[in-house]
């Protein structure tokens, strides 16, 4: 009877009246090690009773990695339930269309899904063989498909990246697979995502940019300059807008001075932008701009007409 009484005593809260404190369970950590730390940090009265309860409740092998807010006023059953609740340690993160790789990293860190180590710690050569669309890629930019994801708190960069690449393979790659120079269309889709909101306008702009490339005219995409001057970020850049002086920027992403496409995409495009990129519409237009007040895309046939539209809409 004394042993039974001690057992139930050990299940009770350690003490009350204290604020919650963070307690982290790391991936692969054994439940005995978890119990030892719970005891050492004052969350349970007895590591032995914690271990016995975890074993007999069938939850000893079900602890989920993550950071939890615990208090000494919680009983052992309450603590075990919290640390083993399936999915309760998951974080839902939505990556918006048009975010760059660095934008996505910042968002993931802010949500707690990614630690300080980012995607730069992963060499593209180490995962290229697993994903056919990475065969000639030099960057992961453009391959973080915008969607809502669920990650465990504090996931490793490789775990997070593989989720992105898997989703890209399912949702984006079917639009590109089998096309000659498909990477070119991924880059083009990233421009459309950043510059043009409507699908039909995106198709027209896709045709305009391909026409410019064909005749040897600079693409003159403002978003590529923003990408360069903001060091690969759009949503944490204080001077995102492009001014005339930016057109002299020394960068392979300066499509005013350099012919052709940029070396990589400048953002992660969604499905609409990808569809527009691979289905360009022919038109008599050679110029376009976004109206400052409405965001509407205005097309022009000639440079004179384009300059008049600039004076009117910008």
Domain CATH for 42: 3.30.1490.480
Of 8-12, 40-44, 289-293, least confident by mean pLDDT is 8-12
257 and 282 together in one domain = yes
Average pLDDT of the chain, as a whole number = 90
Determine the pLDDT at residue 195. 96
Specify whether the CB–CB gap between 274 and 171 falls below 8 A: no
Cβ burial 126-151 (10 Å sphere, 16+ → b, else e): eeeeebebbeebeebbbbbbbbebeb
Question: Of 66, 84, 102, which closes a domain?
Answer: 84
Specify whether the CB–CB gap between 285 and 295 falls below 8 A: no
279 and 230 together in one domain = yes
Mean pLDDT for the stretch of residues 298-309 = 97
> Is the pLDDT at 75 greater than 80, yes or no?
yes
192 and 303 together in one domain = yes
Determine the pLDDT at residue 30. 87
Specify whether the CB–CB gap between 14 and 56 falls below 8 A: no
Which residues make beta-bridge pairs with 149?
93
Task: Give the global pTM.
Answer: 0.76
50 and 122 together in one domain = no
> Is the pLDDT at 49 greater than 90, yes or no?
no
DSSP single-letter state for residue 268? -
185 and 155 together in one domain = no
Cβ atoms within 10 Å of 92's Cβ, excluding its own: 10
User: Angle between the 76-84 and 2-11 helix axes, to the nearest 10 degrees?
Assistant: 50
DSSP single-letter state for residue 64? P
- Which pLDDT tens digit goes with each residue over 177-225? 999 899 999 999 999 999 999 999 999 999 999 999 999 999 999 999 9
Residue 9's pLDDT band (cuts 50, 70, 90)? low
Query: Which residue from 7, 25, 20 is spatially nearest to 84, judged by alpha carbons?
Result: 25
> Is the pLDDT at 53 greater than 80, yes or no?
yes
Stronger pLDDT, 40 or 185, i.e. the higher one: 185
Q: Domain span at residue 40?
A: 2-84
Number of domains present in the structure of the chain: 3
> Is the pLDDT at 227 greater than 70, yes or no?
yes
Question: Of 135, 153, 175, which closes a domain?
Answer: 175
CA distance 196 to 199: 8
Question: Of 145, 175, 205, which closes a domain?
Answer: 175
136 and 184 together in one domain = no
Specify whether the CB–CB gap between 196 and 299 falls below 8 A: no
Determine the pLDDT at residue 162. 95
165 and 250 together in one domain = no
């Amino acid at each position: 009877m004394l042993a039974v009484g001690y057992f139930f005593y050990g299940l009770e809260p350690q003490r009350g009246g204290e604020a919650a404190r963070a307690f982290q369970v790391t991936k692969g950590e054994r439940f005995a090690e978890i119990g030892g730390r719970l005891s050492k940090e004052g969350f349970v009265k007895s590591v032995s009773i914690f271990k016995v309860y975890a074993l007999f409740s069938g939850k000893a092998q079900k602890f989920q990695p993550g950071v939890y807010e615990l208090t000494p006023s919680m009983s052992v059953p309450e603590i075990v339930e919290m640390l083993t609740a399936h999915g309760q340690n998951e974080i839902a993160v939505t990556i918006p269309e048009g975010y760059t790789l660095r934008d996505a990293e910042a968002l993931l860190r802010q949500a707690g899904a990614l630690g300080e180590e980012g995607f730069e710690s992963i060499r593209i050569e180490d995962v290229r063989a697993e994903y056919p669309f990475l065969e000639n890629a030099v960057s992961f930019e453009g391959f973080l498909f915008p969607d809502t994801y669920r990650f465990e708190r504090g996931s490793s960069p490789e775990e997070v990246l593989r989720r992105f690449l898997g989703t890209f393979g399912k949702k984006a790659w079917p639009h590109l697979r089998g096309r000659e120079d498909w990477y070119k269309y991924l880059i083009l889709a990233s421009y459309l995502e950043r510059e043009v909101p409507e699908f039909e306008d995106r198709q027209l702009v896709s045709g305009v940019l391909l026409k410019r490339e064909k005749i040897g005219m600079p693409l003159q995409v403002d978003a590529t300059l923003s990408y360069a001057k903001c060091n690969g970020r759009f949503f944490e850049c204080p001077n995102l807008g492009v001014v005339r002086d930016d057109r002299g920027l020394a960068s392979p992403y300066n499509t005013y001075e350099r012919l052709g496409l940029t070396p990589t995409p400048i953002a992660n495009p969604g499905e609409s932008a990808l569809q527009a990129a691979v289905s360009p519409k022919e038109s008599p237009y050679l110029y376009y701009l976004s109206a400052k007040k409405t965001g509407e895309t205005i097309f022009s046939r000639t440079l004179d007409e384009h300059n008049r539209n600039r004076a009117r809409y910008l």
